[in-house]
Amino acid sequence: MELRLAYLSPELSEEFYRRRALRGARVYRLLSYAGTLLMGSYSVLEYFLDAPNWASNLVLRMLGAVVLTWHIHRLPKNPCDLQLDLHVCRHILLVGAVVCGVLLRMPTGFSVGMPGLTQLLLLGSLIIVRSGRVPWLLSTVALIGVAMWFDGGTFKLITTHLISLMLGLGMAWIVSTLQEAASRREFLLEKRLEFEATTDGLTGLLNRRALTRYAEDEVDRSSRYGHGLSVLLLDIDHFKSVNDTHGHDVGDLALRSIATLCAGAIRSTDRLARWGGEEFLILLPETGAENAFVLAERLRARIESHAVDMDKGQLRLTVSIGLSQRSQGKDWDVIVKKADEALYRAKEGGRNRVLVAPVS
């Protein structure tokens, strides 16, 4: 399993981006609530800078705080990347409208309001780190410069503020990008460990523990809704003699060959695992004993007719298969035990055959 997102399945890639959106949503909510409180605290500073307009500005800010709080709560609980981006953009526009509405009424204008405007863009750069959003942030910086010029700011003042703002945005973007890379590495490492913990290293199939977890859920579902569920337990006949005669390399090749044949014979809803040694188990949800027997016979015949290519000639293999099904009240361990008993009888009866466990 490669530690690169590009090589992951679409499902894993989707999971990574969903996690990223959830993490971004948490950061957004935290910064938004903190920013709303900070916006209200500016009223204390305004009392000394613009006392005549203090009361009306306070009303405008309180109204903005109510609207922003309402807007924060409108973000879906589990947003996707696009939903989060659009929500943050709307939030920045709402806060910008409130801040500009207040600042244009003050004698010191945007010079006093630059901390608030910087906060808006920092919020955007922390949440929206993909390159496609950078032009949007830069255009916002340009609009701030135009607004400061109309507000009477000198070229030196405007240049100083914009340079400081750009440096702050650049640092925020770098931090976000590094965090993004760290999150990706952490996610991929987690998936690699999960893959190794649930997959048989030789055949690439599920291992016993992983299939048991799936099977217990399927048994519960089958019991609840009364649907069929069957199990096939396969064992390669005379496998020990294969290892003794041809060596373990050929034995490993035989195991991989059987795994490939089994995987190609089942549905996408079925589960296949290496159960242990030369045994394989196939879980067949929504399948009764009759249909499971047809599949088992087809698979047995397919393996019997298949030749495993070796360096010196070809190897023919056969399998014995035990079949069991869920009956009323049985749990997973009982189903596997019945399949194992049927497999044992198939071995005792001459091998290369399918036997069905009786329904008790």
pLDDT tens for 144-160 read 667 667 666 667 766 77
Catalytic residue among 278, 297, 304, 341: 278
The residues, any chain, with a CB within 8 Å of residue 84's CB and separated by 6 or more, are 21, 24, 25, 28, 75, 127
* 278 is an active site residue: yes
The pTM (predicted TM-score) of the whole model is 0.62
Q: Could you give the C-alpha distances from 119 to 42, 110, 126, 165, in angstroms and in order?
A: 13, 13, 10, 10
The domain defined by 208-356 folds into Alpha-Beta Plaits (3.30.70)
Mean pLDDT score of the chain? 79
Per the CB < 8 A criterion, the answer to whether 123 and 35 are in contact is yes
Over residues 291-316, the pLDDT tens digits come to 999 999 999 999 999 999 888 889 99
The mean pLDDT value for 112-133 works out to 57
Question: With 60 as the cut, is the pLDDT of residue 128 above it?
Answer: no
Round to whole Å and give the CA distance between 124 and 17.
Answer: 18
pLDDT for position 168: 63
Over residues 254-286, the pLDDT tens digits come to 999 999 999 999 999 999 999 999 999 999 999
| Amino acid identity, position 319 | V
pLDDT for position 286: 93
Is beta strand 354-356 parallel, antiparallel or unpaired with respect to 319-325? parallel
Round to whole Å and give the CA distance between 234 and 229.
Answer: 17
Over residues 203-220, the pLDDT tens digits come to 999 999 999 999 999 999
Confidence of residue 65 (pLDDT cuts 50, 70, 90): confident
Q: Is 5 left (phi over 0), alpha (psi -120 to 50) or beta?
A: alpha
Question: With 50 as the cut, is the pLDDT of residue 181 above it?
Answer: yes
Q: List where CATH 3.30.70.270 sits in the chain.
A: 208-356
